[in-house]
A and B are shown apart, each in its own frame.
Chain A
Amino acid sequence: MIPENEFIAGLKEKGFDFFTGVPCSLLHGLVMGLEEDKSAGYVAAIKEDAAAGLACGASMAGRKSMVLMQNSGLGYSLNAFTSLHMIYKTPCLILMSWRGYEGKDAPEHIIMGQINDKLLDTVGIPWRELTEATWRDDLAWAEETMAKEQVPVTLLVRKGVFRGPH
């Protein structure tokens, strides 16, 4: 598991200073770490597209934004990415849980789990998996790609990468 305090410190080192999102059990430790770190000022959003909108507004006001979400939120936020972030070129880091990975999950996650990576490819959102062994490189890649491409960049997170709720 990636210790959330180390990951949050890594995010801050890369300049991230606006954090928002909607929780997922796979991201529990990270969300709680951000909630407890008052200097992070985590904004609990009501929906994933609204979180994307917050990130865009904050980016235009000079912040470097990160959005946390479950992959179910990708459907809700696709239009925000395609008709806002990707045309205005307001990059953000999307940390997205990969529920339904390899078909092993509750029924509501299976279809998105199967198409999650392909959907990101189709939309043109660069992505990579975040793993415990490579997380510092993954974060560096995401930050560089955001700066270069000026689009949202996704790190997909499988079960067990962050501390769970149970």
Chain B
Amino acid sequence: MDRIEAVTDIIGALDDDLPIVHANGMISRESFSVKDRKANFYMIGSMGLTMSIGLGAALARPDKKVAVLDGDGNVLMNMGTLAQIGALAPANLYHICLDNQTYASTGDQPTISGAVALERIAAAAGYTRAWKVTERAALVPALHEMFASDGPAFLLVKVAPGNLPGVARIPYPPEEIRDNFSAAMKV
């Protein structure tokens, strides 16, 4: 499946008011092109910190579900945070990782995720559930299953390398992104 197909299905399956912390680069941009949700946090820099931002939000509001839409490059950059999430075990955190085995935003240079089973690392770190999907037909059922149970859960979504051409950058100033996400976290 292409990443844009996965992003389309994920955004379609999740509630519009669910806060989602997005990885930087093409993941944020493709998600924005699918649907610009007010509850989206578009991380435009600070690669490696998608999980930490989501975890901080989840710990601050344990009564509220928080999702992280991550990429393999981000997870590999700060893999210790998988251990941190497993150890703290926030029941309200849902971690989806789009794995195309490349740094797509910088020109499709390969990552090492083809040789590393990130979902098995998440399981070993203590996520309550960690598994992967490779077929598009399995994605939406997996998401429903994921959000029906307590977290922290990790879903690895294997997608093809490559980017949707002509996808715009996030047009909002960072402070506006912050305010939208903060408002979604206040509900």
Q: Would you give the shortest CB distance from B107 to chain A, in whole angstroms?
A: 20
Judge whether A80 and B78 touch: CB under 8 Å: no
Judge whether A18 and B178 touch: CB under 8 Å: no
Give A51-72 interface residues, CB cut-off 8 Å to B. 51-63, 65
Judge whether B57 and A61 touch: CB under 8 Å: yes
Q: Does A43 contact B (CB under 8 A)?
A: yes
Q: Would you give the shortest CB distance from B106 to chain A, in whole angstroms?
A: 15
Q: A138 vs B57: C-alpha distance in the bound complex, in angstroms?
A: 28
Q: Does B52 contact A (CB under 8 A)?
A: yes
- CB 8 Å contact bits of A95-116 with B (1 = contact, 0 = none): 0000000000000000000000
Judge whether B182 and A57 touch: CB under 8 Å: no
Q: Would you give the shortest CB distance from B153 to chain A, in whole angstroms?
A: 18
Judge whether A43 and B175 touch: CB under 8 Å: no
Q: Does B114 contact A (CB under 8 A)?
A: no
Q: Would you give the shortest CB distance from B183 to chain A, in whole angstroms?
A: 10
Q: List B contacts of A14 (CB < 8 A).
A: none
Q: A82 vs B57: C-alpha distance in the bound complex, in angstroms?
A: 20
Q: Does A12 contact B (CB under 8 A)?
A: no
Give B16-62 interface residues, CB cut-off 8 Å to A. 21, 41, 43-46, 48-49, 51-61
Judge whether B78 and A47 touch: CB under 8 Å: yes
Which residue of chain A has its CB nearest to the CB of B61? A61
Interface residue stretch chosen among B3-11, B80-88, B144-152, B158-166: B80-88
Q: Would you give the shortest CB distance from A129 to chain B, in whole angstroms?
A: 28
Q: List A contacts of B83 (CB < 8 A).
A: 46
Size of the B side of the interface (Cβ < 8 Å), in residues, is 33
Q: List A contacts of B56 (CB < 8 A).
A: 18, 20, 53-61, 65
With A46-B80, A87-B174: A54-B59 Cβ-Cβ less than 8 Å: yes
Size of the A side of the interface (Cβ < 8 Å), in residues, is 32
- Contact among B45, B53, B84, B185 with A45 in the assembled complex (CB-CB below 8 Å): B84
Q: A53 vs B49: C-alpha distance in the bound complex, in angstroms?
A: 6
Q: List B contacts of A51 (CB < 8 A).
A: 52
Q: Does A154 contact B (CB under 8 A)?
A: no
Q: Would you give the shortest CB distance from B104 to chain A, in whole angstroms?
A: 19
Judge whether B52 and A50 touch: CB under 8 Å: yes
- Contact among B46, B58, B84 with A79 in the assembled complex (CB-CB below 8 Å): B46
Q: Chain B residues in contact with chain A, CB under 8 A?
A: 21, 41, 43-46, 48-49, 51-61, 78, 80-81, 83-84, 88, 174-175, 177-178, 181-182, 185-186
Q: Chain A residues in contact with chain B, CB under 8 A?
A: 18, 20, 41, 43, 45-47, 49-63, 65, 79-80, 82-84, 87-90
| 17 extra A-B contacts, CB within 8 A, seeds A43-B59, A49-B48, A60-B41 | A20-B56, A46-B80, A49-B46, A50-B81, A52-B49, A53-B53, A54-B55, A55-B56, A56-B49, A56-B52, A57-B53, A60-B53, A60-B56, A60-B178, A61-B57, A62-B185, A83-B44
Q: Name the 7 nearest CB pairs between A and B, nearest first.
A: A57-B56, A83-B45, A53-B52, A53-B49, A61-B60, A46-B80, A54-B56
